[in-house]
Amino acid sequence: MLMRRTTGKVITAIILGTLVGDLIGKIIGMFLPESPLRQLLITHVDIGINYFEVNLLIVDFGLKLMISFNLLSIIFMFLMIYLLYKL
């Protein structure tokens, strides 16, 4: 019987694929010598809220939420979605 795919499972697959791909890209980037391939793998784009600060009289807090994407994170994100729909 096929597992029911929900929006939560798809979002989880996207987040896990992005995290794993970004982690593997950074690890590979540490060990590769300086080359165009290394530059391609370690180049990333940050998407999110850079810094948001709320200053009330009693409470003062800040928030920074950034998601980093590189080539491997995009590949792993699509791989996780593919595996979700195939399994």
* pLDDT tens-digit map of 1-60: 445 668 888 888 888 888 898 889 889 888 889 989 888 888 888 888 888 888 888 888
In a domain, 30, yes or no: yes
Q: Is residue 79 part of a domain?
A: yes
pLDDT score recorded for residue 4: 65
Structure tokens, 84: 């979700």
> How far, in Å, CA of 74 to CA of 85, rounded?
17
**Number of domains the chain contains:** 1
Tell me whether residue 64 is in a domain. Answer: yes
Distance CA 67, CA 47 (A): 5
Residue 14 lies in a domain: yes
Residues 6+ apart with CB under 8 A from 68: 22, 44, 45, 46
Domain of 70 in residue numbering reads as 7-86
Confirm whether 2 is domain-assigned. Answer: no
Instruction: Note whether residue 39 is domain-resident.
Output: yes
